[in-house]
């Protein structure tokens, strides 16, 4: 242990452990920040509805649709999104994030693609994204026929003239007008909140999702190349409808998908959304899903994951597949109260994370988890790297069987804790960083790297 490490030894008696276990994790109202409560309350159903109606008015936002009209097609749509976000606050730096994409796969001709992004600079360059995709697609039979295995033979056929704009009707109000409207509304409430965030926030409308997560992948690749520190991505795709096509209605929950393994940063981010979204919006239940996405479906968060970034995907509680990738994906399929609740969960989670210090690193310089059994040989001895701006840390643990943290304990401004007689092989441990006002990062868990393949030599080899 380095000489500078500050240690705290905690005498955890069996009785205290028991008490900690009985304490409900979601009932610590004292942790709430009134400024975040106010920001969450600023989410407007009316504004979300107006944005969706405007997005619908472009008829299509297909990435291969017209760019010359001032009122129809993707060119008009992206300019409107740009101007709308720009109007919210001089603090927002709005830009097109532009790429020249060559003909490939579902892209039938070379095309210029533009993400629309609004940056709200924070005190540090680390970035937190709230995103949706503004492009749309509609096919004969839509997703409903595709799911039922009854898609007509020509549904995915290439257009007769690959160079002509693809201007067939594709309103995409829920897929993904809903996520786009949510991201735009977040740009408004964050930039007008008056809060000085530590992290830089980015409100992003991605392009080219329907052709294979292209806008998200290109942006993530650019971030890798330019060493832009993306800490977390909250991607929203199909989050505005609460009526399943099978008649089941659920307006009180939202699903959050994250790639594994179970203590990956993306999974930790999903738990964070459940914890902090649940505290600020207790009327809405966050349901984390231990998988990257739904079967056979994709979303932009996975493009960020592919390039090594932490990202989760928000998905509505019940889907109506007959209104996806279909001309029937119209405004009447939206529940504004439901979409607003999902926006509030995003707002609470992103604001908390953006005010907190970055999550601590828990590995030693060799990349091994900084957890030992010292000093007795039977203790849990946890070390982490001090997080800039942190004034305290919170330790979490659970039995090594189960998805949710069972215990937590706040410790001071130290970078080492010893929990006597806690068998490290039987628990998962993690640590989060706190600022002076109790804003908490997501948890970094102590995880062993995968065991390498060890070949055994035999005679004759
Ligand atoms: Zn989508």
Q: How far is the CA of 146 from the centre of ligand 1 (A)?
A: 15
Q: How far is the CA of 132 from the centre of ligand 1 (A)?
A: 8
CA dihedral 244, 246, 247, 252 (to 10 degrees): -30
Q: How far is the CA of 84 from the centre of ligand 1 (A)?
A: 21
Mean pLDDT of 404-426: 97
Which of 444, 342, 440 lies closest to 28, judged by CA?
440
Judged against a pLDDT cut of 60, whether residue 236 lies above it is answered with: yes
What was the pLDDT predicted at 290?
A: 97
Q: How far is the CA of 435 from the centre of ligand 1 (A)?
A: 36
Q: How far is the CA of 83 from the centre of ligand 1 (A)?
A: 23
Q: Is the peptide bond before 261 cis (omega within 30 degrees of 0)?
A: yes
317 within 8 A of 253, measured Cβ to Cβ:
yes
Q: How far is the CA of 355 from the centre of ligand 1 (A)?
A: 29
Which of 59, 76, 63 lies closest to 209, judged by CA?
63
Using CA of residue 126, residue 33, residue 434, residue 15, what is the dihedral sign?
negative
Q: How far is the CA of 177 from the centre of ligand 1 (A)?
A: 9
The alpha carbon of 386 is separated from its chain's Cα centroid by a whole number of angstroms, namely 25
The contacts of residue 316 (CB under 8 Å, 6+ apart) are 174, 178, 238, 239, 240, 241, 242, 254, 255, 338, 342
Segment 242-261, tens digit of pLDDT: 999 999 999 999 999 999 99
Distance, in Å, from the CA atom of 241 to the CA atom of 223, rounded to the nearest integer, reads 32
Distance, in Å, from the CA atom of 255 to the CA atom of 418, rounded to the nearest integer, reads 36
| Helix (H) or strand (E) run with residue 173 in it | none
**Local confidence band at 43 (pLDDT 50, 70, 90 cut-offs):** very high
133 within 8 A of 205, measured Cβ to Cβ:
yes
* Structural tokens at position 29: 């109202």
* Structural tokens at position 430: 């993690």
* Structural tokens at position 317: 């509680």
Distance, in Å, from the CA atom of 265 to the CA atom of 133, rounded to the nearest integer, reads 23
What was the pLDDT predicted at 21?
A: 41
Q: How far is the CA of 62 from the centre of ligand 1 (A)?
A: 12
Q: Is the overall model pTM greater than 0.85, yes or no? A: yes
Q: How far is the CA of 65 from the centre of ligand 1 (A)?
A: 17
Q: How far is the CA of 135 from the centre of ligand 1 (A)?
A: 8
């Amino acid at each position: 242990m380095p000489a500078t490490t500050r240690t705290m030894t905690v005498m955890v008696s069996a009785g205290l452990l028991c008490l900690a276990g009985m304490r409900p994790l979601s009932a610590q109202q004292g942790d709430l920040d009134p400024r975040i409560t106010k920001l969450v309350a600023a989410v407007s159903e009316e504004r979300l509805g107006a944005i969706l109606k405007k997005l619908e008015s472009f008829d299509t936002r297909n990435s291969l649709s017209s760019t010359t009209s001032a009122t129809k097609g993707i060119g008009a749509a992206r300019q409107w999104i740009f101007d709308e976000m720009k109007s919210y606050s001089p603090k927002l730096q709005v830009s097109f994030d532009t790429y020249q994409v060559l003909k490939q796969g579902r892209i039938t001709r070379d095309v210029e693609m533009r993400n629309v992004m609004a940056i709200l600079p924070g005190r540090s360059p680390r970035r937190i994204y709230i995103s949706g995709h503004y492009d749309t697609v509609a096919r004969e039979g839509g997703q409903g026929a595709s799911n039922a295995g009854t898609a007509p033979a020509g549904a995915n056929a290439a257009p007769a003239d690959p160079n002509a704009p693809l201007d067939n009707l594709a309103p995409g109000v829920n897929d993904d007008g809903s996520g786009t409207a949510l991201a735009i509304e977040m740009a408004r409430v964050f930039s007008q909140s008056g809060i000085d965030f530590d992290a830089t926030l980015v409100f992003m409308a991605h392009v080219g999702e329907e052709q294979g997560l292209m806008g998200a992948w290109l942006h993530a690749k650019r971030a890798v190349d330019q060493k832009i520190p993306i800490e977390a991505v909250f991607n929203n795709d199909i989050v505005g409808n609460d009526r399943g096509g099978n008649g089941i209605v659920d307006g009180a929950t939202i699903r959050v998908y994250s790639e594994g393994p179970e203590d990956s940063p993306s999974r930790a981010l999903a738990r964070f959304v459940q914890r902090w979204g649940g505290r600020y919006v207790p009327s809405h239940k966050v349901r984390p899903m231990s998988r990257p996405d739904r079967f056979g479906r994709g979303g932009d968060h996975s493009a960020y994951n592919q390039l090594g970034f932490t990202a989760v995907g928000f998905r509505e509680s019940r889907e109506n597949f007959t209104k996806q990738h279909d001309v029937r994906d119209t405004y009447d399929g939206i529940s504004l109260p439901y979409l607003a609740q999902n926006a509030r969960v995003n707002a609470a989670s992103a604001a908390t994370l953006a005010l907190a210090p970055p999550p601590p690193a828990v590995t030693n310089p060799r990349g091994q988890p900084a957890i030992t059994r010292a000093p007795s040989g039977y203790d849990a001895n946890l070390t982490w790297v001090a997080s800039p701006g942190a004034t305290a840390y919170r330790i979490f643990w659970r039995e090594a069987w189960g998805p949710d943290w069972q215990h937590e304990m706040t410790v001071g401004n130290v970078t080492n804790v010893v929990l006597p007689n806690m068998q490290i092989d039987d628990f998962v441990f993690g640590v989060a960083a706190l600022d002076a006002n109790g804003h908490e990062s997501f948890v970094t868990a102590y995880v062993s790297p995968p065991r390498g393949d060890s070949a055994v030599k035999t005679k004759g080899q």
